[in-house]
């Protein structure tokens, strides 16, 4: 089952539009805010990992699955 480039691009656009509507507005951190924060490295790593996972969601095909696992939209 091969998807055309247009199908892939339309799915990515739909998922991005959905994410923009659902995502809460985040304010940019300023230098003073960063100095006041006393997060441990583990807290920072956890937040970074969560952000990376959220950003990678649009890379997965919303419909196709192999052995119950989601697969990337663009196959190598």
**So what's the pLDDT on residue 44?**
83
- Which positions of the chain have pLDDT values less than 70? 1, 17-39, 75-76
pTM across the whole model: 0.35
Domain map (residue ranges) of the chain:
42-76
**So what's the pLDDT on residue 23?**
44
Torsion of CA 23, 51, 69, 65, to 10 degrees: 40
| CA–CA dist 12, 6 (Å, integer) | 10
């Amino acid at each position: 089952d091969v998807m055309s480039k247009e199908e892939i691009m339309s799915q990515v656009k739909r998922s991005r539009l959905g994410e923009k509507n659902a995502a809460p507005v985040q304010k940019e951190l300023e230098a003073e805010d960063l100095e006041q924060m006393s997060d441990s490295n583990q807290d920072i790593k956890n937040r970074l990992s969560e952000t990376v996972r959220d950003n990678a969601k649009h890379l997965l095909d919303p419909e196709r699955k192999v052995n119950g696992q989601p697969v990337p939209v663009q196959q190598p």
